[in-house]
Amino acid sequence: MPGQSTSGQQSTPAQLPLGLVEKLIHLSFELKETRWQRDVAQRNANNWRRGSKLGQEMVTKSEKKYDDLKQSHEGLVKENEGLVKENQDLKKALEDMLNEKEILEMERKKFQTEKKDLEKRFRDLFARF
């Protein structure tokens, strides 16, 4: 084996060239830097995933709220249409009742006039006897 003597003595480890040691130190530093950058990138990716998931959940909730409001609005529109028709029917009924009241008032006045005429005729007739 290189670096060992055949006489059984322990050999000293061979020293690496200085340029190679510096290169290994530099590569070790770059490896640490790259690992740190990878960790930062993974944390950022995880944050973006969580943010994206939260954003998607908010969009889904917003869409559900929109759909619920849309259905509620459609229900209120139908209810309003029903109330408008009912109001129109009530106005027509009131108009009919007012017309009927007017007719009844005219008939009442006619009967009062006839009653006065009959009372006058009765008094005139009673006065002759």
Mean pLDDT (the chain, rounded): 90
Contact (CB, 8 A) for 23 and 11: no
pLDDT of residue 14: 73
Poorest-confidence range of 32-36, 81-85, 112-116, 121-125?
121-125
* pLDDT tops 50 at residue 1: no
> pTM of the entire structure?
0.47
* pLDDT tops 70 at residue 85: yes
Contact (CB, 8 A) for 13 and 3: yes
Residue 15 confidence class, pLDDT cut points 50, 70, 90: confident
The conformational region for residue 13 under phi > 0 = left, psi -120 to 50 = alpha, else beta, is beta
* pLDDT tops 70 at residue 78: yes
Residue 70 confidence class, pLDDT cut points 50, 70, 90: very high
* pLDDT tops 70 at residue 7: no
What DSSP state is assigned to residue 3? T
Residue 126 confidence class, pLDDT cut points 50, 70, 90: confident
